[in-house]
Amino acid sequence: MTDTMVVELGLQAMTIAAKLSAPVLLTALAVGFAISLFQSVTQIQEATLSFVPKAIAIGAVLLFCGNWMLHQMMTFTTQLFERVPDLLR
């Protein structure tokens, strides 16, 4: 295993991690911003108000994107296992 293979493998792992986490993180960011904006406009300062909408939105995103996320993880893992003989040389 050469140093370029290690760097390439690390880059692929970080890329897939960023791809898989982006829908959930961006949804939580958008919903959190919307709730914060609503709280500042209405001057409601309740800390638990943002939890339920975020949980519902993240659940919906996982329902819609879960199949794609699972497919991406399976593809990456399959490719990684196929490369194991080359990595062990």
Give the position of tokens 């939890």: 51
- Between 26 and 42, the more confident residue is 26
Calculate mean pLDDT across residues 80-87: 90
Name the band, by pLDDT with cuts 50, 70 and 90, for residue 1. Answer: confident
Can you tell me the distance from the alpha carbon of 79 to that of 5, in angstroms, rounded to the nearest whole number? Answer: 14
Can you tell me the distance from the alpha carbon of 55 to that of 32, in angstroms, rounded to the nearest whole number? Answer: 10
Q: What is the pTM of this model?
A: 0.83
pLDDT above 80 for 89:
no
Q: Are 18 and 11 in contact (CB under 8 A)?
A: no
Domain that holds residue 77: 3-87
Can you tell me the distance from the alpha carbon of 19 to that of 12, in angstroms, rounded to the nearest whole number? Answer: 10
Residue 47 gets which letter from DSSP?
A: G
The number of folded domains in the chain is 1
pLDDT value of position 44: 84
Can you tell me the distance from the alpha carbon of 42 to that of 53, in angstroms, rounded to the nearest whole number? Answer: 17
- At 44-62, the pLDDT tens digits run 888 788 899 999 999 999 9
